[in-house]
A and B are shown apart, each in its own frame.
Chain A
Amino acid sequence: MNLKELYQEIILDHGKNPRNLGKFDNFNKDAKGHNPLCGDKVHLFLKLDENKKVNDISFEGEGCAISMASASIMTDLMKGKSEKDAKEIIEKFLDMIKEKDNIDTKLLEEDEKTKLMSLGGVKNYPMRVKCATLSWHALSSALEDFQKEVTTE
């Protein structure tokens, strides 16, 4: 998929109508991400229940279409996942966006994988890879309870 097609697809799907945008009240974990080069910012909110499952997840942020769409897609598919599974999905997504041709996990449905693969269009653009991975790094940091803001630099 060339980048223009990628844009057309993700803008239509997530740009106009981002999922899970805005803070919710009873979150118990959160983390911020910042890409100083392009100014993209994301603040991620997370509620893990007593079984360490993602009960709710949302984000606030501003940035380019790729970083916003990536956060939108990510928060959508993380709902209901266990902490352990979430970490595996993050790892597999980051593998895919940096080098691999597929997302090697049984934890996602095929249509979810397809959506994530569409973001793989940025693979050859290291500057844009940072946009696509910003919210994923923030989620990883929230799960690890890091206090420090993550940055892609």
Chain B
Amino acid sequence: MKIENIKKEFPIFNNKVQNNDLVYLDSANSSQKPLVVVDRIYDFYTKEFSNVGRSVHYLAVAATNLYENTRSAVQKYINAKHKNEIVFTKGATEAINLVANTFGQKYLKEGDEILLTELEHHSNYVPWHYLRKNKGIKINFAEIDEHGDISFEDIEKQITNRTKMIAITHLSNVTGAILPIKEITELAHSKGIPVLVDGCQSAPHMKMDMQDLDCDFYAISCHKMYGPTGLGVLYAKKKWLDDLPPYQGGGGMINEVKKDDISFGELPNKFEAGTMATAQVIAFNESINFLNKIGVENLVKHENDLLNYGEELLRKNNSVKLIGNPRKKGAVLSFTIDGIHPHDIATILDEDGVAIRAGHHCCQILHDKLGLTASARASLGVYNSKDDLDKLNESINNCKKIFNK
């Protein structure tokens, strides 16, 4: 599959949006869906639908096999050691909540510390905040440097002998900083501290290798990976999934239920209570197929080229200020324009068919640190081209003209 022709795999680009060709630069928020994924959902509901893991009739068995095939595909894609280290959730948010809740329940007590970074998305802060409220744990933040980056040393100096978990992003959704997860994990493990990684922004854009990273938990958002909404993946080392208590109780996750006691099912069912997002899981296999057909090396190269091109364009554009200049950067271009509020920028760009995000991108702590209430963000996906970035730049110029900047 040639990356130059990839746009035509995505039906959304066949239609005009408010009479404009769509320039979609909001993939860090959510990616568009290739036709194969949409078709898979349709086919499943129209030809193959049944609930999974319960009944013994033909459709139920077939659906269960399809569901489990996706688990194997994910395992392979992220190079996890065991298939049962893949748990489906309703999103990366639920994946992190699952860990914070069960790990917190079993292992955390008053005065224990969790180490986050100032780059974290609210979904990797708020779940820990509950433990601060309920259990009296302390949350520490590794601070960003002047490039919007976090180094190994920034993490190292924040670790104390009460640190019980390091929960950090792999790739910042605002500054684009890529953190040295493997090195951080090695250090953490040498001190007996487990590591949770928020992989929402990295999984769609980088080569995934859980065994190499060696982290304990990794949260993935499927809708940012050209997959359906309502679905996430929690990767966790088997020893943790065996060890931690169940997160939610219900059907499908039990072994035996008596009036006076309940025993829980084996992995992975233990963490998948109730009817899961079956169609989404089955369709997500097509997203993985799609990414495999492109090849992650080609994807990385394509997006790096675009990032460099976009950075250069915006740097040359007077009065546009890029946010973040980290050592290693992923495919996001966050910026401000002097004297124009990001929401005004986004609204005017939208009139030209250029879809970007404006706001604090669920990173209020980071924006406070940067002294900003909001920023504008253009983020890239596999379907973007240099043309899209030219249109972004053109539309920014329109915006400046309207505001006389």
Binding site for B on A (CB under 8 A): 2-4, 7-8, 11, 15-16, 37-40, 63-66, 125, 127-128, 131
Contacts and interface: CB of A to CB of B under 8 A. Distances in A.
B213 interface: no
Nearest to A16: B404
Nearest to B404: A16
A23 to B, nearest CB: 21
Contacts of A38: 341-343, 358-359, 373-374
Given A38-B359, A38-B373, A64 B343 contact: yes
Nearest to B403: A11
A4 B402 contact: yes
Nearest to B399: A7
Given A38-B359, A39-B373, A7 B402 contact: yes
B347 A128 contact: yes
Contacts of B359: 37-38
B266 interface: no
Contact of B344 (A2, A37, A39, A64): A64
Given A4-B402, A7-B348, 17 more contacts: A3-B347, A4-B351, A7-B344, A7-B402, A8-B402, A11-B404, A16-B404, A37-B359, A38-B342, A38-B359, A38-B373, A39-B373, A63-B341, A64-B344, A65-B341, A66-B343, A128-B347
B344 to A, nearest CB: 5
A43 B340 CA distance: 20
Q: Please indicate which of the listed interface residues B347, B358, B402 has the most CB atoms of chain A within 10 Å of its own CB.
A: B347
Given A2-B351, A37-B359, A15 B343 contact: no
Contacts of A2: 351
Contacts, number: 45
B402 A3 contact: no
Interface in B337-387: 340-344, 347-348, 350-351, 358-360, 373-374
B347 A11 contact: no
A110 to B, nearest CB: 27
Nearest to B367: A39
A63 B373 CA distance: 9
B403 A15 contact: yes
A101 B366 CA distance: 41
Nearest to B351: A4
A4 B374 CA distance: 21
13 contacts: A2-B351, A7-B348, A16-B404, A38-B341, A38-B343, A38-B358, A38-B359, A39-B360, A63-B341, A66-B344, A127-B343, A128-B343, A128-B347
Nearest to A65: B344
A21 B371 CA distance: 23
Contacts of A4: 348, 351, 402
Given A37-B359, A38-B373, A64 B402 contact: no
Nearest to B398: A4
Contacts of B343: 38, 64, 66, 127-128, 131
B403 A3 contact: no
B89 to A, nearest CB: 26
A150 B404 CA distance: 32
Interface string B293-311: 0000000000000000000
Interface in B147-169: none
A63 to B, nearest CB: 6
